[in-house]
Structures are given as structure tokens and as C-alpha cells.
Structure 1
Amino acid sequence: MNLALWTALRGLRVRAGALVITVLAVALATATALTVPLVTRQVERGAQDAAQVFDLLIAAPGSATQALTSSLFYLDAPTGNLSERLYEELRDAPGTRRAVPLGLGDNYLGFPIVGTNAAFFDQRLKPKDPPYFQVAQGQIFTAEHQIVAGARVAREGGLKLGSTFKGAHGLEQHEEEGEGGEEHGHDHHDEAYTVVGILAPTGGPVDRALLTPIETVWEVHGQDTPATRQVTAVLYAADQLAGIYVTAQRINAGKEAMAVFPGQVFAGARDVLAQGQAAYAGLSLLVLGIAALTVWLGVHSATVDRQKTVALLRALGAGRMTVFGLVLGETLITVTLGVVLGLALAVVLSGLGGTLLGNRLGFTLAPPQLTWALAVRALALIPLGLLAALPPAVAAARVSPLRHL
């Protein structure tokens, strides 16, 4: 180990307090610059994964985003209802591979009760793939008021095969509803549901859904005749790609419903997020600049402490470039430690944030992926820190050894 490097490491050890403060400042700046973009990308991937089992969403006219968040993620109120007739037309139309009705309106402990049919369990990522939703225990429903519970609601609601409960009207749990679903108000339906199946975890919003025959929804809401029966939305898949666009054009040409392409909604949301990320990127640069200023202050404040060491090195024959390299070497070690710690901290924070946000949104987010494009933001702090250290390094190199010996 050469003299300059040994001296740099020893100097950092002597100034351990200042080193820790500078490293933490760099680490926090790095984590601040990366955490939000990492979480945002987790949400994008998780949302797209949750929507890839169907081609088209047919819902009542209104906001496409609201239709998607209500019928796919169960996070919003539906835009309205569709007639059973429209659903049957979609189901029986030539070229239809699958038309899955959804009926919303009730909940149990805040988890949505979703009316549908057996076709729901036949949804696939690709035609030749196995069904996306697999029953881990029991079977799919075969009669009204039977429930196939998602993995999360079964776990958090304490539901097992044979468990019974009463649903409450509305999409959210009411304050008067006690633990265990005890009825303290008058918004509960009289007939109990029975759990006959529990789904394997998917990481998607269906993990927190309670699936029951669509006929159950019609019965509990008094929709006894075909003229009164309604569905909230239809998940549509066609045999051919052209059939998807033909169906979408036909639906959007009318006034009763709208056809929503999930990819287009996600693209629009991504554009909005991109604008926010651009502003955040500017803020990140400011934070990284402050970190570079902290590095400069740390190097500058150490100059006084380093003067006798520099004078001794010069007296022992070290040249100006050696002293110059000593200062830059200390800075390089400090900033690199801070950046590495910041990268690790960003991954940990985004993982925790993604878990909390995923629980809130109702689907599991994939682990954060630290791409080179994001890492470069943090790695740019290394040359920025070295640039900030140039003036103190030049000043140290120009110090005469006679002044301090």
C-alpha cells in the first residue's frame, strides 16, 4: 500500500465523525434521488401484471381510469352498471373467446364481494397457458351464496372451507360493523355466504376478493327478472386481435357502454407520472448538489487538520501531485461509501414502500429493480464530489512545508 493511500485511510479514521456525517449526507441524497422512481416502477409493473389476463374491459360510460380501478383493482366506485342483455350479446358474439361478468356492490370486512361466473376461473395469460387463477383448496362455486375466497382475504379474514359470513351493502366496511363481521347496523344481507374454495396467491387484486356467482348479486339486490339484472363490467377476450378492436369500436359507437384498453389507460397514467418524475428528477439534482456541497465543506474543513500531515509528507519528499491525490483519494473513498450505502438504502426503502403501497392498493408489487439508468443518477455524485474537492486539493498541494514544520 503506497504512502498516500495509507495516509488517506489514516486521515479518514482520525476524522471518523466528519466521515460518518459526510457519508450519511451522500447516502441520504442518493436514496432520495432513487426511492420514488423505484417505487413508481414497481407500481407500473404490478398494475400491468394484474391486467394482463384479459384484452378489453367493457363498463358503463365515464372515466376509463375509474372503470379500471373499480372493476379490476376494486379501489373505486364503479362508473355505473350494464344490462344483462349487453353482457349476453358480448358472450354470444362470434369471435368471443371469453366474456366474464363482474357484479360489485357488497363487501365483507372491507373486502369486495364480486359476482361473476365459472369463466372467471378460465382466464389465461395465453390461450395455451394453464388458468391464471388456481383453486388451492376446495372447488369453484356451483350454487348461489357460495364463495371462492382470494388468498389474502382468507388469511386476514380468518376464512376456511366451510366458513360462513354475511355480506354488507356497499364497497367499504362501515364503522358500525364490528370485528368478525358482527352486525351492529341494518346494512347486512340476511342470507349467509359459505366458503367452498380458496384461491392460490397471485399477487394481484383478486387475492382480496370474494368471488360468488353473479346470480347471487342479482338475488340479494332484488334483480329478479332479466329486465332488471345488471352487471358492473365485463372482462372480454377475443379469439383474434382484430376481434378486440371490432368489439371496441362497436361498443364505443353506442351510448350504453364504453370499451377500455388497459394498456392505453396505463400509458396515460405513465405520461402523468413521467411529468411528476421529471419534476422529481430536478429536485433530485438539487439534493445531489447539496450533497456535493456537503462533501466540499467536509474536505475544506479537513484542510486545516491536514496541513501538518501535508507538510510532513512534503518534507519526506512527497510531491505536489501526491498531496493533490491524497485529498482526492479521501474524497473518492468518502463519496463512494456514501453512494454505495445510498443505493442499498434506496433498494430497502423502495422495497418497504412498495410493500406498504401494495397492501394499500390490493396487489403485490414486484421487488424493486435498480436499473443502470437510475444508478447513473447516484454514480454521477462521485465525479461531482471530486469536482467539489478540486479547490481544497489544489490549495493543499500549494501549501509550503516550511509553514507547519
Structure 2
Amino acid sequence: MTLWVTLRNLRVRGLATLITTFAVALAVATALIVPLVTRQVERGAQDAAQVFDLLVTAKGSPTQAVLSSLFYLDVPIGNIPYAQYEHLRDDPRTARAVPLGFGDNYHGLPVVGTNAAFFDQRLKPGAPLYFRVARGRLFRAPFEVVLGPAAAQQAGLRLGSTFKSAHGLEEHEGVEEEEHDAAYTVVGILAPTGGPADRAVFTSIESLWQIHGQLAPASRGVTAVLYTARALGDLYAVAQRVNARPDTQAVFPGQVFAQVRGFVLQGQAAYAALGVLMLLLAALTIWLSVHAAGLERARTVALLRALGAGRRTVFGVVLLETAVTVLVGLTAGVLLALLLGHLGGGVLAARLGFTLPAPNLDAPLLARVAWLLPIGLLAALPPALGAARAHPTRHL
């Protein structure tokens, strides 16, 4: 009986119930959406770069080095002499050193010069190769290219297609770009990884040297080196040696992520204050709704009492109405936050160039909004007690 009466009362006050539910849902979604999307970006960025232990670039901003060399999202700091790469490659402590060269694009897609060792990377020893060729083969000669799957789709290229790259790291709308004379031929297309490589064009680094006229060994350079040591102690020793030079730096991507995360958390703290304010407004809306409903239900309560309903039943009806309203609002808000997180993650993934994992709600995040339920029940206590104590003849 209690549930039936509760649902009937909520239906009778349909507009007021809808407004309260919408206010709760909007406040909950506002409090959750930014933390959800931020966590998606953090996990996606770490997953995309975890195959690399150390990044060696020219002196400059470590953040710029990571964004440009691992995610292809920023302008590279500059080149380092090819001889520096050779020293790293030939160091007995080195397990793998992979050169990277940048400077050209094809319709906004970065052209990355490297060698075959780039594709011989694993998340951990014994794991499957991180990069796999879905169609064709890896490049073997200058001006052969391997495409990431997103790059092939975006550019409309297939095996055997030829194209000419343009100078610069991105395509500028309305600006006519200067194409190079040499044409590339597509010989392979990679399987999806979810990382930045999906939207890149890979060729031999010798192709970039030839296309930019860097024929003499002394004129050749590399933009970055992806480095893996044989042992952890060797990794730090090599990093110390690299940093001691005046023209190179060793960057640990994990440390850069930690620093960026610190700045993000500061912004989240300010946003959290806004979320708390929204939740307080939702709590106030619940209180006003409960108070207004108490005035409207006085005659209904009197009829229930006259028909023999006990004080406990009347008390339970009032509390249950509030609990149902708040729970529906909380559920709708959580679902709305997940939907917006999924849609926002798709938009960000397209702009950032790597796949973002699905939004993930954990207990601490849910606890930020779950307190609306006890707050709502506390707000309903005075009207519930008043309704239970009221004499039925007062409103009949």
C-alpha cells in the first residue's frame, strides 16, 4: 500500500517531481563529467605511451618533447646530430634505440621518419608485438611508407597508392603548401593500436634526409630517439649522461604525465567547488519540493488517516516519495555523465589522436554525489513527522 500511494502521489505532482528529478540529475552530471573525462585522458595517454621507456630530444620543454615526439600534437623542439643517436645505438647498455624524424605532413597527417626497430616494440618482455601489419609489409627502401589505419582512412590511401608530402607538421586551411618532388608509395597498413601511430605516416628516416637535401652525413639529424636500456640501472645512467650534454635531454614520459596531472588536479579542485555548489542547489531544490509537497498532500494524508492508515504508514509514504525522487535523479545524472563522458571521449580522441578508454565510475567518485540521498531524507523528516502527527479532522 505504501509504495502504491507513493507512486500515485508522485504522478499527481508530476511536474514538480520532474523538475526536482531534473535538478538532481543535472547537478550529479555536472559534478561527475569533468573527473570522468580527465581520467579517460590520463589512462588513454599512459596506455598510448607506455611502450617507450625514455625519450631523448634536444634541450627544451619535456612536455613539448612528449607531445611532439610521442603524440604528434606539438612542434618538435629541434634536431640533435645523428651522431648522438649512433652513440646511443652503439652503447653496450642499450637494448634498442629508435630514431624519429619529423618535418612533413600529408593532408595534416604527420610523416614520421624512423627505421624497422620502431615496429619491434612490446609492452613487456614476451608480450605480442605492439605494432602489427594488417595489410602489406613494412617499408624496406626510401620513399616506401606504412600507414596507421586512421591515416589510411582519413587520406583515402590504399596499398600501391602514391602521394607527395608537404613541408610542415600540419595542413593550414587556405594556405597553399609546397609539395616535395619525390613521391611516396604505400606498401603497408598497420593494425589499430589505439595510440597516436594510428594517424601517422611512417617511412624510413633516410627518405626525410633525401627529401630535405641532407645528403652529407654531417648534415643529418634526428628529432628524437626512443630509448630502451638493458637494465633499469642502465636506463638512469644513460639518462644522466644525456642530460649532462649541453644539447640533449632525457625525458621520462611517466614523470611528465605526473607533472601534467598535478596541474590538472589543481583545476579539478576548482571545478569540484563548482560541483559542490551545484549539489547544494540540488539539495535546496529537494528541500523546497518536499516542503511544497507537504502542503499539497495534507488532504491526502488526512484521508489516509481517516481510512485507517497508521502514523508509520503516513511517515513512510513521505520518506519514500523523497527517496524515489532523489534516487531517480541520481540514476539519471550518473547515466547522463556516462553518456557525456562517452561522447566527449570520442571527440577528444579524434583531436588527440589516441583512443580513450570508456568512462569508469568508482566508489570514491560515486560518493561525491551519493550524499544527496541522506540529505534528501533529512529534509523530508520534518514534513514526515508533521504528517504522521497531524489529526485527520484538521484537513477534512
The two structures have a TM-score, normalised by structure 1, of 0.95
The residue number in structure 1 matching 2:255 is 264
The residue number in structure 1 matching 2:80 is 82
Matched, 1:208 2:181: no
Of 104, 107, 121 in structure 2, the residue corresponding to residue 106 of structure 1 is 104
Q: Distance in 2 between matches of 1:159 and 1:341?
A: 43
Of 368, 372, 375 in structure 2, the residue corresponding to residue 381 of structure 1 is 372
Q: Distance in 1 between matches of 2:145 and 2:331?
A: 49
Aligned 8 A contact 2:94 2:229 in 1: yes
What is the deviation of 1:17? 1.7
Of 42, 45, 50 in structure 2, the residue corresponding to residue 44 of structure 1 is 42
The residue number in structure 1 matching 2:54 is 56
What is the deviation of 1:175? 2.2
User: Which segment drifts farther, 383-392 or 90-99?
Assistant: 383-392
What is the deviation of 1:246? 0.5
The residue number in structure 2 matching 1:295 is 286
What is the deviation of 1:387? 2.0
Matched, 1:254 2:252: no
Of 166, 169, 184 in structure 2, the residue corresponding to residue 168 of structure 1 is 166
Aligned 8 A contact 1:87 1:234 in 2: yes
What is the deviation of 1:79? 1.2
Matched, 1:363 2:354: yes
The letter of the residue matching 1:37 is P
Q: Distance in 2 between matches of 1:187 and 1:388?
A: 69
The letter of the residue matching 1:204 is G
The residue number in structure 2 matching 1:286 is 277
Q: Distance in 2 between matches of 1:279 and 1:385?
A: 25
What is the deviation of 1:362? 0.5
Aligned to 2:218, the other structure's residue is in SS state coil
Aligned 8 A contact 1:139 1:197 in 2: yes
Q: CA RMSD in A?
A: 1.3
Q: Distance in 1 between matches of 2:166 and 2:360?
A: 40
Q: Distance in 2 between matches of 1:231 and 1:188?
A: 21
Q: Using a 3 Å threshold, how does the CA distance of structure 1 residues 186 and 363 change in structure 2: closer, same or farther?
A: closer
The residue number in structure 2 matching 1:66 is 64
User: Which segment drifts farther, 54-63 or 6-15?
Assistant: 6-15
What is the deviation of 1:219? 1.0
What is the deviation of 1:396? 2.8
User: Which segment drifts farther, 356-365 or 20-29?
Assistant: 20-29
* 1:142-195 deviation per Cα after TM superposition (whole angstroms, max 9, x unaligned): 111111000101011111000111101101102246xxxxxxx35111111110
What is the deviation of 1:307? 0.8
Q: Distance in 2 between matches of 1:354 and 1:338?
A: 24
Q: Using a 3 Å threshold, how does the CA distance of structure 1 residues 318 and 186 change in structure 2: closer, same or farther?
A: closer
Q: Distance in 2 between matches of 1:385 and 1:358?
A: 38
Aligned 8 A contact 1:60 1:232 in 2: yes
Matched, 1:218 2:209: yes
Q: Distance in 2 between matches of 1:30 and 1:233?
A: 44
The letter of the residue matching 1:149 is L
What is the deviation of 1:321? 3.6
User: Which segment drifts farther, 275-284 or 252-261?
Assistant: 275-284
The residue number in structure 1 matching 2:141 is 143
* 1:200-237 deviation per Cα after TM superposition (whole angstroms, max 9, x unaligned): 00010000000000011111111111111011100000
Aligned 8 A contact 1:104 1:114 in 2: yes
Flag structure 2 segments of 5+ consecutive residues without an equivalent.
none
The residue number in structure 1 matching 2:334 is 343
Matched, 1:331 2:322: yes
Aligned to 1:103, the other structure's residue is in SS state strand
The letter of the residue matching 1:323 is V
The letter of the residue matching 2:43 is R
Q: Distance in 1 between matches of 2:224 and 2:21?
A: 53
* 1:57-86 deviation per Cα after TM superposition (whole angstroms, max 9, x unaligned): 001111100000000000000111111000
Of 149, 152, 157 in structure 1, the residue corresponding to residue 150 of structure 2 is 152
Q: Distance in 2 between matches of 1:305 and 1:74?
A: 62
The residue number in structure 2 matching 1:118 is 116
Aligned to 1:227, the other structure's residue is in SS state helix
Aligned 8 A contact 1:343 1:378 in 2: no
Of 313, 319, 338 in structure 2, the residue corresponding to residue 322 of structure 1 is 313
The letter of the residue matching 2:140 is T
How many correspondences in the alignment?
A: 396
The letter of the residue matching 1:351 is H
Identity over the aligned pairs, expressed in percent? 63
Matched, 1:235 2:226: yes
Matched, 1:35 2:33: yes
What is the deviation of 1:358? 0.8
Flag structure 1 segments of 5+ consecutive residues without an equivalent.
178-184
The letter of the residue matching 1:346 is A
Aligned 8 A contact 1:24 1:338 in 2: yes
Q: Using a 3 Å threshold, how does the CA distance of structure 1 residues 186 and 289 change in structure 2: closer, same or farther?
A: closer
Aligned to 1:223, the other structure's residue is in SS state coil
The two structures have a TM-score, normalised by structure 2, of 0.97
The residue number in structure 2 matching 1:181 is none
Aligned to 2:179, the other structure's residue is in SS state coil
Q: Distance in 2 between matches of 1:114 and 1:8?
A: 65
